[in-house]
């Protein structure tokens, strides 16, 4: 008997603005909060070339862009030719030699740690462009100590530039009349989810969570579970595509009780790859306040944990209590509880359902059985999904002159415009990303994208699902110093609630205390 969740009116609290993202994963997702190694490896930063003599007028002959990334080899194989084309175009059109140093990093946290150290030391070893979680960018903005633009560049200033703003350079693929309207609203809103007004991250490749299911196994299960679906693939797909969470748990219960139909060695019916995403997604679906940015009483802004006390805390604890009950029935598990992603268990028919990033869905691909793709089951008749994936930022380097920073910023922005024009954006997502989706609407009209949708490939099903059923249902969360720690802690709430017998009150209070200490 599940606890009744006392739902807060959705219109009151549904602030749809999410920190989170990721890169090409080693395993099948890029959780919104990366796992932090005990000693994060620092990027191998190229030695800064001697700064060219600064012209008294006009542009320099040479500009260097250091691009810190976490991309896998497949993305790099497709990115490198685009970078080379960009450099040739700029040389031909503007006479400027642009050198782009790609600096690999093991994960987002290693970038965050290295930048934090560099800013503290006044080092010039910081990127011009970097992939970044908005949570981390909030820390760099805080480090500016009120000096706006000291480190983090506001994209609004670049987008609206009269000379090289969005839509101003046709030779870079800018279309006439280009504007932010061509980018999906949720992706731009995410870049504005800070305590300071402006756009501080720019979308490059995006993802969300989807559920994959072993259609071959589900078809067999439906013979007893939903016999009216027998022989109808369309009815099964329609049912799976509109499951709420409690119905999904009922299906998982039937699967566990009848696992001999699928595999007597079934480990769990369902795997959920991100403990943090599970917590935050269900909070938003239930309308329980999660976090916000509030006045600090001193003329500034600070992050706030909205469920730290009162009825909101009770609602959140009831939500996790229900998840704990389902786990104890052996209906589902998470990466935090099981210690590995769900892809291997899914491919080995040791689970039937796996929920994770669309950007890593390819890791669950197998030819041993037919795979179905659907939205993640949701609560409260309120399908809302995490907005994650690759965002880019541009940084000023305090060890360089204002002139050097000015031109690095200009050409970094021109490069980002080039990489996100419709053709290039579609190509990098379709040819190298393992499932990331384009960030601008016109990319979905590109011939390359349309041909891919007609290909019948597994990834095409993912793209079609996101475009037709999930787009417009994204949520974002506020980005502030400590928001990354908060997401880490709520992921821990799920992990410990599932695996430990400790009281939920104790688990919540520890997590809230740890997250509160990180607020600035």
Structure tokens at 4: 């009744």
Residue 19 has a pLDDT of: 56
Is residue 439's pLDDT more than 70? yes
Confidence category of residue 54, pLDDT binned at 50, 70, 90: very low
Predicted local confidence at residue 475, as pLDDT: 96
By DSSP bridging, strand 371-374 and strand 353-357 are unpaired
In the DSSP assignment, the letter for residue 508 is H
With DSSP H G I counted as helix, E B as strand and the rest as coil, what are the percentages for the chain, rounded to 5? 45, 15, 40
pTM of the model: 0.88
> What is the rounded distance in angstroms from the CA atom of residue 439 to the CA atom of residue 186?
10
Tell me the per-residue pLDDT of 481-490, one tens digit each, with 9 for 90 and over: 999 999 999 9
- Residues facing residue 388 across a β-bridge: 207
117 to 42, 47, 404, 437, 518: CA distances (angstroms): 10, 17, 22, 33, 17
Q: Between 407 and 296, whose confidence is greater? A: 407
Cα distances (Å, whole numbers) of residue 367 to 69, 187, 359, 370 = 32, 34, 19, 7
pLDDT greater than 70 at residue 45: no
CATH classification number, 209-387+477-492, choose in 3.40.30.10, 3.40.190.10, 3.90.1280.10, 1.10.287.990: 3.40.190.10
Beta strand 62-69 with 97-104: parallel, antiparallel or unpaired? parallel
Give SS3 for 301: strand
The mean pLDDT of the chain is: 89
In tens, the pLDDT along 141-186 reads: 999 998 999 999 999 999 999 999 999 999 999 988 899 999 999 9
pLDDT of residue 58: 66
The reply to whether 209-387+477-492 shares the fold of 62-206+388-457 is yes
What is the fold of 62-206+388-457? D-Maltodextrin-Binding Protein; domain 2 (3.40.190)
Contact 2, 379 (CB under 8 A): no
Tokens 């291997």 sit on residue: 344
Q: How confident is the model at residue 431 (pLDDT cuts 50, 70, 90)?
A: confident
| 407, pLDDT greater than 70 | yes
Token duo for residue 208: 């969300």
Domain locations in the chain as residue ranges: 62-206+388-457, 209-387+477-492
* Span 67-105, pLDDT tens digits: 999 999 999 999 999 999 999 999 999 999 999 999 999
What pLDDT is attached to residue 459? 83
Q: Express as a percent the part of the chain with pLDDT over 90.
A: 76
433: Cα within 13 Å, side-chain hemisphere? 28
Long-range contacts of 45-53 (CB under 8 A, 24+ apart): 45/103, 45/114, 45/125, 46/101, 46/103, 48/124, 48/125, 49/99, 51/400, 51/401, 51/404
Mean pLDDT computed over 435-447: 90
Radius of gyration of the chain (CA): 23
- pLDDT for 433 equals 65
CA distance 15 to 478: 9
Instruction: Report, as an integer, the average pLDDT of 413-420.
Output: 98
């Amino acid at each position: 008997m599940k606890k009744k969740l006392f739902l807060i009116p959705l219109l009151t609290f549904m602030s749809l603005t999410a920190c989170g993202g990721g890169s090409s994963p080693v395993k099948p997702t890029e959780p919104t909060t990366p796992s932090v190694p005990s000693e994060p490896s620092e990027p191998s930063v190229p030695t800064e070339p001697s700064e060219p003599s600064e012209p008294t007028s006009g542009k320099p002959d040479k500009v260097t862009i250091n691009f810190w990334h976490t991309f896998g080899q497949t993305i790099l194989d497709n990115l490198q030719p685009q970078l080379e084309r960009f450099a040739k175009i700029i040389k031909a059109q503007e006479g400027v030699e642009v050198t782009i140093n790609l600096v690999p990093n093991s994960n987002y946290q290693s970038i965050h740690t290295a930048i934090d150290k560099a800013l503290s030391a006044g080092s010039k070893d910081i990127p011009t462009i970097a992939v970044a979680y908005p949570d981390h960018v909030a820390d760099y903005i805080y480090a500016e100590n009120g000096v706006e633009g000291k480190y983090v560049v506001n994209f609004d200033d670049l987008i609206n530039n009269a000379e090289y703003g969005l839509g101003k350079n046709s030779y870079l693929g800018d279309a006439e009349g280009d504007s932010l309207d061509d980018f999906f609203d949720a992706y731009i809103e995410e870049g504005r989810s800070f305590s300071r007004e402006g756009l501080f991250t720019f979308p490059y490749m995006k993802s969300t969570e989807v559920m994959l299911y072993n259609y071959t196994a589900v078809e067999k299960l439906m013979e007893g579970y939903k016999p009216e679906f027998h022989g109808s693939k369309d009815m099964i797909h329609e049912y799976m595509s509109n499951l709420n969470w409690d119905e999904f748990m009922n299906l998982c219960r039937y699967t566990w009780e009848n696992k001999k139909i699928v595999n007597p060695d079934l480990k769990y019916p369902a795997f959920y790859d991100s403990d943090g995403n599970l917590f935050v997604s269900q909070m938003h679906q239930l309308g329980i306040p999660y976090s916000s940015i509030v006045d600090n009483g001193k003329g500034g802004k600070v992050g706030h944990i909205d469920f730290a006390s009162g009825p909101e805390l009770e609602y959140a604890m009831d939500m996790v209590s229900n998840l704990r009950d389902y786990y104890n029935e052996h209906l589902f598990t998470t990466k935090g509880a099981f210690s590995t992603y769900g892809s291997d268990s899914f491919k080995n028919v040791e689970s039937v359902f796996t929920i994770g990033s669309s950007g890593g869905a390819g890791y669950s691909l197998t030819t041993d059985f037919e795979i179905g793709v659907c939205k993640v089951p949701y609560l409260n008749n309120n399908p809302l999904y995490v907005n994650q994936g690759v965002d880019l930022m541009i940084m000023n380097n305090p060890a360089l002159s204002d002139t050097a920073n000015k031109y690095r910023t200009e050409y970094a922005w021109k490069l980002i415009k080039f990489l996100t024009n419709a053709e290039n954006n579609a190509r990098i997502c379709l040819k190298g990303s393992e499932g990331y989706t384009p960030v601008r609407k016109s990319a979905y009209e590109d011939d390359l994208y349309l041909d891919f949708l007609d290909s019948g490939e597994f990834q095409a099903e993912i793209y079609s699902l996101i475009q037709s059923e999930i787009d417009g249902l994204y949520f974002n969360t506020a980005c502030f110093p400590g928001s990354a720690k908060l997401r880490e802690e709520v992921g821990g709430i799920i992990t410990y609630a599932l695996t430990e017998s400790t009281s939920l009150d104790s688990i919540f209070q520890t997590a809230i205390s740890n997250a509160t200490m990180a607020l600035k």
